[in-house]
Structures are given as structure tokens and as C-alpha cells.
Amino acid sequence: MAIIACPECGKEVSDKAADCPHCGFEMKPRIVHFLTLGESLTLFCICLVGLLLMYLFR
């Protein structure tokens, strides 16, 4: 368990708290999603096919 600062009021809050006990600010974890290698390759292939089709049918 760690103590973090509330983004709203700046007071100390447990990192496990659902909301700040001082001001009531809802503490939501930030979710960061990175593309997997498979997702990156799929996106690259879709873009490449799109560019090829644009070139062929212009």
C-alpha cells in the first residue's frame, strides 16, 4: 500500500482508496494500452494494402 497525492485537493490518500476521503474525488487508475506485436503488424498490413489499392485504382 502506498500513499499518493489526490489530484483534486493534493492531500494524502491510499493508492487503494476508491475516492479521496478529504474531498470525495473519485480515484480511477489510468489504463494505458500498448499494441502487441500482432496488433501492430495487422495495422501495418491493413495500411499497406490500402495504400497499394489507392495506387492501383487511381
The pTM of this model reads: 0.47
Q: For residues 8-19, give the mean pLDDT.
A: 92
Rounded Cα distance between 3 and 31, Å, is: 19
Q: What percent of the chain has pLDDT over 70?
A: 98
The pLDDT value recorded for residue 38 is 94
The pLDDT value recorded for residue 33 is 81
**Cβ proximity of 13 and 22 under 8 Å:** yes
